[in-house]
Chain A
Amino acid sequence: MHRHRTPAPPPAHTFSALEKRLLNEFQHGFPLDAEPFREIGRRLGVSEEQVLTALGRLHREGAISRVGPVLKPNRVGVSTLAAMAVPPGELERVAALVSARPEVNHNYERLHRFNLWFVVTASDTQHLDAVLDGISRECGLPVMDLPMVEDYFIDLGFDLKWN
């Protein structure tokens, strides 16, 4: 699917002043007019071409994933967070079975008795339940289903604190 293969970017101190401002000041309030990169350039005192070049480089280096929308979860399709308490010796095998499912988009080992945590996204509840049941049967372990009840996160972007 879309696994991330971008190499890590250079450490933060090698970003130019322009790149730092692009990273930190346009995480929200991105211009919604016909020529947004020209408008950003106007605000930062550089040309449209410099803005486009810098954003292209930040993307190639993996510092940004995109210039675009962050979608509210659960407004398109349904998703849940699931957890399993996997015997340590079986973790790699079980993790591989979970990751192989196209409906799984995050899958992490965490240091806890519940040591495998993954997010499942599907078109509807029935499909979601079928995926969780299938994983449980295939792995021979119970799966804890923890759907979102309420979202309290105010997404203002991520302050990179360059200073």
Chain B
Amino acid sequence: MELNIHRLESGAGADALDMRLIRAIQGGLPLVPRPYAEIATRLGLDERQVIERITRLQGMGIIKRFGVVVRHHELGFRFNAMVVWDIPDHRIGRVGRCIGQYDFVTLCYQRPRRLPHWRYNLFSMIHGRDRDEVIANVQRVVEECALQEIAHELLFSRRRFKQRGARYDAPSDPLPAPAPWRGVCGG
């Protein structure tokens, strides 16, 4: 996959070195006492620069969060429904922020309607240990975000044909992934 660095440079304030750093850490830090120093060696930087750049990328919102990424499916939260909502346009910001705050929600995006086939404009992923817990969580959202009058549907997943994290590989800039993490995505 080719990386669109120009888009980032102009739009988000990250430079080409930031992108090399992101590619070096996106699969995870090496589990060694000084992981930032090891990343720095690979990139020809020093440890302090790596830490500063990660801090800055977080401040810019390109890194949303940095830490332990759990695979909740494997930890027993095996059920999820994509819950889609038909929110009046003037309410969507308020409702989106309300739904997006719950810890059992992992995605909350506004997307376009595709009438007449598809009326829903807000998409949320709601998790639970079983089907009933997912339904109870949806009910809690309906009540607490005042969505009693809002049309919505639960789309339970049935089969997972493919899942891997989006990766931003640049063929022209091959960097070895840290060995213990290679090839394991998800979360």
Q: Are A105 and B109 in contact (CB under 8 A)?
A: no
A contact residues, total (Cβ < 8 Å): 86
**Is A18 interfacial (CB-CB < 8 Å)?**
no
**Is B55 interfacial (CB-CB < 8 Å)?**
yes
Chain A residues whose CB sits within 8 angstroms of the CB of B93 once the complex forms: 150, 152
Which of A9, A106, A121 has its CB near the most chain B CB atoms (within 10 A)?
Answer: A106
**Is B68 interfacial (CB-CB < 8 Å)?**
yes
B contact residues, total (Cβ < 8 Å): 90
Q: Are B114 and A70 in contact (CB under 8 A)?
A: no
Q: Are A63 and B71 in contact (CB under 8 A)?
A: yes
A15 smallest CB distance to B (angstroms): 9
Question: Cα distance A108–B125 when bound, in Å?
Answer: 13
Give A79's nearest chain B residue, CB to CB.
B166
**Residue of B3, B64, B66, B161 touching A108 (CB-CB under 8 A):** B161
A150 smallest CB distance to B (angstroms): 4
Q: Are B103 and A156 in contact (CB under 8 A)?
A: yes
Chain A-chain B contacts (Cβ-Cβ < 8 Å), number:
291
Question: Cα distance A17–B20 when bound, in Å?
Answer: 36
Within 8 A of B (CB), among A23-73: 23, 26-30, 32-38, 48, 52, 55-56, 59, 62-73
A residues in contact (CB < 8 Å) with B: 1-4, 6, 8-9, 11-12, 22-23, 26-30, 32-38, 48, 52, 55-56, 59, 62-73, 75-79, 81, 83, 95-96, 98-99, 102-112, 114, 117-119, 121-124, 144, 146-160
B residues in contact (CB < 8 Å) with A: 1-4, 7-8, 11-12, 14, 19, 22, 25-29, 31-37, 47, 51, 54-55, 57, 61-72, 74-77, 82, 92-93, 96-97, 99-101, 103-112, 114, 117-118, 122-123, 127, 153, 155-168, 180-181, 183-187
Interface pairs A-B: 9 shortest CB-CB:
A66-B28, A152-B96, A30-B67, A152-B100, A65-B187, A107-B162, A159-B103, A150-B110, A110-B155
